[in-house]
Every structure is written in structure tokens, then in C-alpha cells.
Amino acid sequence: MSCNNTNYCVTSTGTATQAFTSALQYILAAQCLITEELPPNSEVKDLDEFHFIIVGGGSAGLVVANRLTEEEKWTVLVLEAGDDPPAESYVPQLNGGLFGSRYDWQYQTVATGFTNNANLNGTVHWPRGKMLGGSSSMNGMIYFKGSSHDYQNWYNNGNKEWHPERVQKYFKKAESLQDQSLLTDPEIRDNYGYDGPLIINTFNSTLRVFSNKILKSFGEIGINPVKDLNTARLVGSGIFRSTAYNGKRGSTASTYLAQLQNRKNFKLLKNAFVTEILLNDRLEAYGVKVVINGTTLKLLASLEVILSAGTINTPQLLMLSGVGPKDHLESKNITCKVNLPAVGQNLQDHLTVPVPIFGNETKLPREGYGPLDTIRYLINRTGNLAQNSFTDIVAFFAKNKNATRPEFQTHVQIFNKNSSRGLGYFNSNYKTSIVESFLEQNRNYTMFLFLFNLLHPMSTGNISLNSKNPNDHPLIYANYFGEAMDLEATAEGIKILTKLVNTTYFKSINGFLGRYNWPVCNNFELDSTNYWKCISVNMVLTVFHPVGTSKMGLNSNDSVVDSRLRVHKIKKLRVIDASVMPTITSGNTNGPTIMIAELGSDLVKEDNSD
């Protein structure tokens, strides 16, 4: 998407014609109003020194930059490997077009032969944002805080900076709740902040009528609708909150970074690929090596180097710099400077399994978007383009209906008959027989696709180096279902979801459970535990929530950073991003990542207060 020239080579005459021309010019000019003005590259030369260097201008890094530059005495440099987000990033419905583009790191998991045999190439695509805002510039904009139980577990395991009450304080510091219908409810209002950079809102969904029918169906199977899931501590079903405003995405680039325009102590380099953390003989981080336009520079940090490169890039950079498992580094001909066995370990992700229910729903609005949708969006930021590709509902549930912490989550997508969007989903992820089974059933029926998530997997994977070349993607071993109990739990959770076919709404549209055609699963009875185990192992995908590879903990044998996010055994080096999570949070992880950056920024300030 680009801005068109609004100058015309023809003249117009008459009131009606002039009005038409003015309207057309307005629509064309409105393209340019979609994006935010972001800071340009700073002028930086070899051996320049800053107080702080932040590696990564993504979900966490831009939050840290915002907060540290509040101290005018400090100069802060952000190094981002990508560029400004494109216009498509700001339009909620268009985020899928960024997957596989130059704005995506385009990571793939390693094929193991155990899982993902129905997936293309036997792997899973892990899109991660390579642009300012990082993955917050391409995610689904779904905002959840996690469960208080998540943070209590962190605290109970010795991470004393992360008590649930303190964590909530930093969520509120980030937030600016905008939904007027929620602000009138005292309990919900007290659960959010109001003057933070991150706008929290609710999509004006074109599918709300059908969302409400599905919410009633959730209630019939014991997953009761609530007004606000964050206030209800993620137990029940409901409309999710979003990081969007005025029909546009609210990434950390368009919120936190936009506030930095006039701060003279803020410096930014885009398209700047960091290849090494510089460590001296005293094991202090004193700068980085960075490649810009083919030229390698050394840039220096007098106080700290802060890694906010994300769950994949942060451990890769640590290992490339000689910090990590000694045997692994030496196998790649890298001198081990600091033996930290936990670097790259403890990889956790929310897996998803697509559960299809078909039915005779004839009243759905047209899906996708056309020229009129585009005009509507450009004029008033409403319609299909102003929402993401899901319905606006989510359900959290557990095997025990009285549980106070969820075990499972589901998002919901609806595909009309003969859906090109549905075909795109299956074509981009699965092999021919799976795609054909979707086409056969979708030809005559609407598809309700429940994207089942396992929230707290026991299985952990790892990130390891492919080679000592920084340009080589690391090896991602997701290890989905590495622990048998995860597969048992997934099958059990899915069988709770499939009860939806017997609810009032789905009965009214003659709903039925769809079947995938995958040979090794075809002999199992539909909706049996063994069927769902088979489908899950062969069709599992990611929900795009990798965390944990620079684990926070008490000692250097099984963790990478301490409770204040300082890398063990190294001075002046800190990690502030999703990789520090000891265990994955309940629900979507972008909100907790921003919270980590808010709290982590204050830790940096406290430790450098002299």
C-alpha cells in the first residue's frame, strides 16, 4: 500500500463534479493518514558511546527506550534489524499479508517426524516481526494480562521482583483503557490503567451478532460469558480487549515510540543487525557489533547493553557472543566466554489445534473486503478492515469447571461457504488431503473453526545455533507433545469444545463436527480421544507465543537472568523481553511482554540511580 499522487491533470467544473473530485482526493489522501510519523535514523559513527544500547525495537525494546529516555541525563540507542512498519501493519485485517514478507523473520521449526506430518514440509512457520514494534506490529492485537496464578508461580520460585500485585501495577502503568462501556463499570475500571501509552479498546466487530450466539453456546457447556475476561482472571468466555484505536493497530511503534519524537537523548538506527555483544576481560558488556548497509560498527554502552531481541534472537545473540552451553558453542567453533547451560533452553509456546464445526448458517455477512470496504475504511476506519480476521470472542476453560486458573483457550474463526479465506488458511499450513477435506465440507456448509490452545504445556523445546554465522537462522525445536501428558490434556480439552455441536444455536443450524482426512487418523472414531490425539500430533500449529529461552531464576545452572533481569555472571548486560518468562502466561503474551518491559525499565533505573 502506498500513497497516491492526488494531483490531477484534468480540471472540473460544476458543484457536483467538484464535490466528487474533492471526495476522491480525500479518499486518496487518507491512505497517507493511516501510518504514524516515526523517527528517522540518527547519525551514528564507529565507537560512538551511549549510556544504554537496546538491541531490538520491538514489543519490549521500544517500551524500555521510552522509559529510560525519561531520564534526560541518559542517552539511549535502539538498534532495530527491520524498518518502519508498512501501512498494512496499521490496518487490522491486513496483518496476515505480512507473514512471509520482508517484515517477518520467517522462522520455521525443525521437522522431527514425530509431529506435524500433515503440515507443509513437516514444520511450523513461526512469524516474528522484523520492523519497529516487532511482533506487536503484526499480531492479532488481542490483549490479555495472564492469570495472577502465573505470576504467583514466578514469585514462589524465587523471582521476588514479580509478585502479582507489583505486576498488576506495571500493567496499569502501560494501559490506557478507552472502551466507554467498560469505564462505567467500577470493578472493570479499577482493573485497568487510564493514562499509559498503550490504548486498550474493543473491536467494533461486524460479526458481533454471531459472536453473541457462540457466547451463549459456551454458556450452555459451562464456559460462562463474562463482561471482561481480564477482570474475571481469565475464567469464562467473552469479548476480548484489543490494542487498537480508531480502527488502527496500536503497536509499541505507534504508541511508545511515537512519544519519543522530540527527546534529544533518544537515538535510533533501523536496518541495523547486531551480530555480537562485546565483553571485556572482566566479563562486562561494553557495547555491540552491528552491521548497517554492509558496514560493521562497534558502538559502546557506558552503563548497560539491554537485549530486547525476542525469544528467538536473544538467545541466538548470546550464543554468538560466547554466552551459552559450553559444549554447544564449541561444537560451532565459538569460544565459550561464559558457560550458561540454560541459554536457548526452556522454550515454551501455546500450541493450537483447529477444531471444525460445520453448519447451515445463511445469514453471515460477506467475508473479506472489496473496494467499498476499502473506501469505508479510508473514510471512517470502520468495517471489515478495522478488525482482525477472527471473531471478537475468546473462551478460557479447564477440565474442572470450578478452576480459578484456565488450562485451555480457544479463538474462533468463521468461514462462509466456499470461503477463500478458509482455503487460504488450510493451503498455507497443510498438505493436500487436509485441504481437500476442508473444501469438501465447506462447499455446502459454513465452517466455525475453533482454534484450541493448550495454555500450560509441560513440554519445553530449545533454540540452538545452526552455525556461527549470524545470518543463519537458529534451529527451533518446538517439541510439541514431548511430554505425553500434554497430548492427553489436549485431547481432553478438545472434547469439551466439541460439546458445542449439541447446543441450541448449533442445533438450529444443523451443526456437525467436521472430519479431517489424514490416513493414519481415519480409522479412529470421530471425536474419540484417540482421534483427537492423532489429529493433534499431526496438525499442531503455533499461536505465535514463544517465550522462555532466557529464563529468569535463582542460579546460573537452570536460568539465564536473575529476578532483576541481569544476565548471570556478566555485568552490565540485561535481558528485557518475553524470553525471560520462567513459565508461559495464560492467554496471548504481548500484553505480559509489555508489562515485563515496564517493570524491567524501573529495575534498570533503580540499579543505575547513582
Instruction: Please tell me which residue, 501 or 206, carries the higher pLDDT value.
Output: 501
Which residues are CB-contacts of 268 (< 8 A; sequence separation ≥ 6)? 39, 40, 41, 42, 57, 77, 78, 80
**Contact predicate 522/118, CB 8 Å:** no
* Residues placed in the known binding site: 274
Helix axes 371-380, 15-30, angle to 10 degrees: 80
Instruction: Answer with the residue of higher pLDDT: 396 or 261.
Output: 396
Q: Which amino acid is at 180?
A: Q
- Alpha carbon distance 127, 136 (integer Å): 12
What phi, psi does 186 have (nearest 5°)?
-55, -40
Residue whose C-alpha is closest to residue 585's, from 553, 552, 548, 550? 548
**Domains identified in the chain and CATH numbers:** 214-239+351-454+481-539 (3.30.560.10)
Identity (one letter) of the amino acid at 285? A
| Beta strand pairing call for 408-415 and 338-339 | unpaired
Three-state secondary-structure class, residue 251: coil
Contact indicator for 549, 541 with CB cutoff of 8 Å: no
Question: What sign for the dihedral angle of Cα 551, 557, 561, 564?
Answer: positive
The helix (run of H) or strand (run of E) holding residue 338 is strand 338-339
CB 337 within 8 A of CB 322: yes
Catalytic residue among 125, 350, 545, 568: 545
Q: Any idea what DSSP says for residue 23? A: H
Q: Would you tell me how many other CB atoms lie within 10 Å of the CB of residue 369? A: 16
121-142 pLDDT, tens digit each? 999 999 999 999 999 999 999 9
Reported as a single tens digit per residue, the pLDDT across 136-176 is 999 999 999 999 999 999 999 999 999 999 999 999 999 99
550 DSSP assignment:
T
pTM to 2 decimal places: 0.96
DSSP reduced 3-state for 159: coil
Could you tell me which residues are annotated as the binding site for FAD? 274
Distances in whole angstroms, Cα of residue 89 to Cα of each of 40, 53, 138: 18, 26, 6
Which candidate, 226, 238, 251, places its Cα nearest to that of 139? 251
Instruction: Give the Cα separation of 6 and 21 in Å (integer).
Output: 10
Classified as helix, coil or strand, 420 is helix
* CA–CA dist 101, 56 (Å, integer): 19
Query: In degrees, to the nearest 5, what angle opens at C-alpha 338 toward C-alphas 334 and 343?
Result: 85
Q: Are strands 408-415 and 446-454 parallel, antiparallel or unpaired?
A: antiparallel
How high is the pLDDT of residue 3?
A: 54
More confident residue, 22 or 150: 150
Examine the residue annotation and report whether 125 is marked as an active-site residue of this protein: no
Question: Is the pLDDT at 409 greater than 50, yes or no?
Answer: yes
| Residue predicted with more confidence, 36 or 29 | 36
How sure is the predictor about 235, in pLDDT bands with cuts at 50, 70 and 90?
very high
